[in-house]
Amino acid sequence: MTETTRCGQSALALACSWPVVRRALGYGLVVGFVLASINHGDCFVHGHFGTDGCWYKSILTACVPYVVSTLSSVQALLSAEAECAGEWAGAREDQ
């Protein structure tokens, strides 16, 4: 993902930008909590959180929606930039 936008921001820079990180953290916490409750709820209920790697699996479960949100936000921003650049180039050709 080294694609550069018209403004000079790479995909990595977009992924690390605060609006994208803030949105991904929100989705990661909410959706991650729901997924961890569904997938590892028995560990929480029976107090086995520290055994069998339940804490590790729960953290990884919360990372999935964070990564998905980050990737989709970056792709949407890159697509919007490309559309704007295309419209701008088309307007210049009309002149």
Q: Torsions phi, psi of 47, nearest 5?
A: 75, 25
pLDDT tens column, 19-45: 999 999 999 999 999 998 898 888 878
* pTM to 2 decimal places: 0.73
Is the model's pLDDT at 52 over the cut of 90?
no
Q: Which residues contact 77 (CB under 8 A, 6 or more apart)?
A: 5, 14, 20
In angstroms, the CA 54 to CA 39 distance is 10
Output the pLDDT for position 87: 63
Q: What DSSP state is assigned to residue 10?
A: B
Helix (H, G, I), strand (E, B), or coil: what is residue 4?
strand
pLDDT higher at 1 or 25: 25
In angstroms, the CA 15 to CA 58 distance is 23
